[in-house]
A and B are shown apart, each in its own frame.
Chain A
Amino acid sequence: MTATATGLTAFRAHVRDWCRTHIPVGWREAQTGVGEEEFVAFQKAWFQELRRAGFAVPHWPAEWGGGMPVAEQIVLYQELAAHDAPRLVLAFVAIHHAAATLLAAGTDEQRRRHLPAILDGEIWVQGFSEPGAGSDLAALRTTARRERGAYVVNGQKLWASGAAHADWCLLLARTDPKAPKRRGISYFLLDMRTPGIDVRPIRQATGESHFCEVFLNDVEVPAANLVGPANEGWRVAQETLGAERGMTMLELAERLGNAGFRRLVELCSRPGPGGARPIGDSPVADRLAALETEVTGLRALCRDLVERHEAGTVGRADASIVKLYYSELLQRMTDFGTEVAGLAAHTELRKPLSSSWESGAWALDFIGSWEWTIPGGTSEIQRTIIAERGLGLPREPKGA
């Protein structure tokens, strides 16, 4: 870490100033109940606002527009959370997964083509999962057949979050059907405007349809869009998937601990129909105190993860511990919010878009929180990783 303590204090003051003058006043109300178009426009405008301040991609290398020391990034995310800034929802895959992949395994050409474009607002989606390949991602069956200077892709992707708005897709497809499961997979950059792509939204329990099915029918991908060597896609994906876990989790933990927890306390402090405030009730106060302890623990864990990442001392199960802890804590916290908010929460049917997972529309937040224990490796898969890689326990017997 290069930033000095005084430097950090000055940086914090700078971010605070910036937050006060740049976070759109009343954005929560304005983003409640809006349509997709307005949401997308707002997200893109906010991204550009952050970019002008140098806050959009602080984790990227300096030559591509980042280069912020890790200690300052931590401060940045703390302050954005404390000031309840909108979240970058739409750009998430682009600035994290796509960028990490390009930086780690992309060609210069690919980086030059895409990193500046991402800064200009290019939206990315992750096309990994398939009907038969969820937790067992390596079972994927979408094929990419080499034909002259291109690959011809056929198959179906599922649960692609935000695919409806995406310009580009991170695609895993099988290039060698005869090789063992993990060996025959390649990693591609897919232009979503290519003919043969059909994106269909999937309707969800929360009423939104933010994830999509993507059908790929003889879709031609130029060979230049292969990332890393052919048939090495599994390795590329493994290396880049976890790479960003640290800072993105830190951001979420800060959000949960700042504006999220504040909203929970406000909720508990609001007089109920009978005039009494829930917080006056000792069980409620106890629960709040317990949650506060847990959130503090989570924030410390995330910070530790980020710093160990920087120092190159991350344990093989550390990221899994953080994801498991965050997702289950989020469920407990939104569940408690729903309980305290009582009936009124169930008449609140719209939540502010662009907000975090704890938006204050508690009933919807709670239902939404259930999603968190599934993607990016389910809780069971995280537990398996912690058991096997962290604790060194044996693998589950094959064919038991």
Chain B
Amino acid sequence: MNIELSEEAAEYGRQALEAFKAAGGDGLVQQAEAEPGHRAEQVAPVLAELGAWDLDARGDADELEAAAALCRSAGYWAVPYPVAERLARPADLGTDGLVVVAGTAPAGAVAGLDLRWTAVTPDGRRATAAALPPAAPPRESAFVTGLALTPLDEAGAADAALGLVLPCWTLLGMLDRAIDLAREHVLVREQFGRPLAQFQGVQFQLTDAEVERSGLEMMARYALWSGQANLPEALDDALALRLAALEAAETVFRVAHQLHGAIGFCDESPLSWISRYSQPVRRLPLGLSATRDLLARRLGRHALTGRYGDVAERVTS
């Protein structure tokens, strides 16, 4: 198995980063919060320009990898638009996007967009979903709103896996950014007559965060490959990825905030925005313990196969 992203996908991701930056960068989410009604107008043209809607994440490996790279770049700038959800749209239902839901109060960060949604539960039950009017402004809700579901079928196991994996790539991009921001901050901010980065206590925290982030990156590639290879345990791998992503996010954001000091809690610091808008991905459809619980139940008697397991070897050989 080769879980490296192709050079094309990596290059596409870099282009996307530049395109989002040119379109406003950090300003995108700030504007969207100020004028939630215009959030699609800001971002959708950039995505169209990047050919995002021509990407078939369910097609070949190249396209799936490009989709993942795009999600990651969108996360880097906290792009206020459900990029991963749109890229995960079901193949057969003619809707615009896919949201994984769980529990009695289905919700997604899809407020105020004129789009048709499909919802899928982790066990593959699909429904048509309509976004309800948001109960709170984005400042408080980060664009999360309730979904009204009309049950459809039970054919969504693959949907659920893809629908879980792509948002983890978005979150990975957010962690990339949080680490970059923390790194830049400690290099520039001086206390006691020298840059914070010169204190080993600061360096070690950042390295711990980086270890978490790179571990997550490996998991993200593996789960992508597992879904692409149609492994029977693709959904378990997607849940394991989600678990790793949520754990990594906790460490990375805790460290990034701690190293920023008080400024990290203020709107003038991009970290505050990234951290706030990372909340929906981290809470929906399942938080840390619920994800862990579901994964544990599903694994039940068998364990994760993983990169070096027998089954994986058989599939690739």
Contacts and interface: CB of A to CB of B under 8 A. Distances in A.
A and B interact physically: yes
A343 B192 contact: no
B103 A205 contact: no
B303 interface: no
B262 A374 contact: yes
Interface of B: 103-105, 107, 135-136, 139-141, 144, 190-194, 198-202, 250, 254, 257-258, 261-262, 264-267, 272, 275-276, 279, 283-284, 287-290, 293
Contacts of B264: 205
Nearest to B276: A205
Contact of B262 (A331, A347, A375): A375
Contact of B257 (A134, A370, A375): A370
Which 5 A-B residue pairings sit nearest by Cβ, starting from the closest?
A136-B191, A339-B289, A273-B104, A203-B267, A205-B272
Interface stretch (A51-59, A163-171, A377-385): A377-385
A399 B195 CA distance: 10
Contacts of B258: 370, 373-374, 378-380
A383 B266 contact: no
A139 B104 contact: no
Contacts of B254: 331, 370
Contact of B144 (A211, A346, A378): A346
Contacts of B199: 380, 396
A203 B30 CA distance: 13
Contacts of A158: 262
Contact of A399 (B194, B201, B265): B194
A207 interface: yes
Nearest to B291: A339
Given A343-B103, A349-B140, A399-B194, A205 B284 contact: no
B141 A339 contact: no
Interface string A379-396: 110011000000000001
Interface of A: 129, 132, 134-136, 139, 158-159, 202-207, 211, 273, 281, 283-284, 331, 335, 338-340, 342-344, 346-347, 349, 363, 370-371, 373-375, 378-380, 383-384, 396, 399-400
Contacts of B290: 339, 342
Contacts of A347: 105, 107, 135
Nearest to B101: A343
Contacts of A135: 191-192, 261
A95 B99 CA distance: 52
Contacts of A400: 198, 200
6 contacts: A134-B191, A135-B261, A136-B193, A158-B262, A343-B105, A343-B283
Contacts, number: 94
Nearest to A281: B293
Nearest to B284: A343
A342 B287 contact: yes
Contacts of B144: 346
A340 B290 CA distance: 8
Given A159-B262, A374-B258, A205 B279 contact: no
Contact of A205 (B192, B275, B288): B275
A60 B261 CA distance: 33
Contacts of B136: 349
Given A204-B266, A370-B254, A396-B199, A378 B287 contact: no
A380 B201 contact: yes
A343 B139 CA distance: 18
B261 A346 contact: no
A344 B261 contact: no
A299 B198 CA distance: 36
Contact of B266 (A202, A284, A331): A202
A284 B290 CA distance: 11
Contacts of B104: 273
Contacts of A373: 258
A390 to B, nearest CB: 16
B289 A340 contact: yes
A349 B262 contact: no
A83 B305 CA distance: 52
Given A136-B191, A374-B261, A400-B198, A343 B140 contact: no
Most chain B CB atoms below 10 A, which of A273, A284, A347, A379: A347
A374 B104 CA distance: 37
A338 B289 CA distance: 10
A206 B139 CA distance: 9
A207 B137 CA distance: 11
Contacts of A380: 199, 201-202, 258
A273 B272 CA distance: 32
Contacts of B265: 204-206, 370-371
B105 A378 contact: no
Contacts of A399: 193-194
Nearest to B283: A346
A329 to B, nearest CB: 14
Contact of A129 (B262, B275, B283): B262
